[in-house]
Amino acid sequence: MNPATRRCRLYKLTNESGHPSGLIMQFQSLATHGIRTINVMSSPGAGKTTLLERTIARLRGEMAIGVIEGDIETSADAERIETAGAETVQINTRGACHLEAHMIRAALKELDIAHINLLFIENIGNLVCPSEWDLGEDLRAVVVSTTEGDDKPAKYPQMFAVSQVMIVNKLDLLPYVDYDVEKVKRQALAINPQLRIFQVSCRTGEGLDAWCEWLVTFANGKS
Ligand SMILES: Nc1nc2c(ncn2[C@@H]2O[C@H](COP(=O)(O)OP(=O)(O)OP(=O)(O)O)[C@@H](O)[C@H]2O)c(=O)[nH]1
Ligand SMILES: [Mg+2]
């Protein structure tokens, strides 16, 4: 087994006897209602909220997107998401470095889930702790950006081991930074060969068509 994968220890949503907890049952119920959920994680500032803003704008009219916004403080990201046109709930963890499932359960009560097809959870900006907590999501997506150095998958392997999708953002800045996209992809795929990779610039729109096309198939349960 890959050593990076062996180190992975997601806290599963199970009770002490190993059966699904009420929280996971709630997410199963979301799935029954045709709602698919993506947990978006990254270092602070890699572009999670910007990616969601661009995604909401592009998929307007095609599907209804809801967002649970996680931040230590402020409602700034929720305000951005609302301006972009999606229903949102802000969670402030007041110091905690990751979201936990009970926070998601509380936030879900505030969302009109009857009108949502695709639910994003924007986790706290942190490349370590969020990877250890199961929120009951269908899929985990990690965003990396060209401004944070091209060694992140190798140095923070668990995040890449537990994610199914990696989005490399800020391609427009490649002429100005030392960042080897192929090296990042190689590192990430060595940890997790199944990782689906998108390369985008939220600034120029490069790569966002492919991302949104895939999201539509994902939301429809086809990938
Ligand atoms: N040049 C460039 N800047 C970008 C791109 N995407 C996002 N940004 C900028 O990067 C900064 C951080 O973006 P956010 O979307 O707020 O990042 P975040 O991951 O949500 O940050 P936290 O919620 O604080 O963890 C903002 O100034 C964005 O405008 C991009 O593709 N290119
Ligand atoms: Mg954000």
What domains sit in the chain, N to C, each tagged with a CATH number?
3-13+20-219 (3.40.50.300)
In angstroms, the CA 107 to CA 67 distance is 10
Q: Return the amino acid letter for 72.
A: I
Residue nearest atom 12 in ligand 1 by C-alpha distance: 45
Q: What is the distance in A from the centroid of ligand 2 to the CA of 195?
A: 23
Mean pLDDT for 99-103 is 92
Q: Are 181 and 198 in contact (CB under 8 A)?
A: no
**Tell me, what's the pLDDT at 30?**
76
User: Band of the pLDDT at 221, cuts 50, 70, 90?
Assistant: confident
With a 6 Å cutoff on the Cβ, whether 202 touches ligand 1 is yes
pLDDT tens-place string over residues 7-52:
334 444 555 555 556 666 666 667 777 899 999 999 999 999 999 9
**Tell me, what's the pLDDT at 33?**
74
Q: Are 143 and 48 in contact (CB under 8 A)?
A: yes
Mean pLDDT for 164-183 is 98
Give the position, in ligand 1's atom list, of the atom nearest the Cα of 51: 15
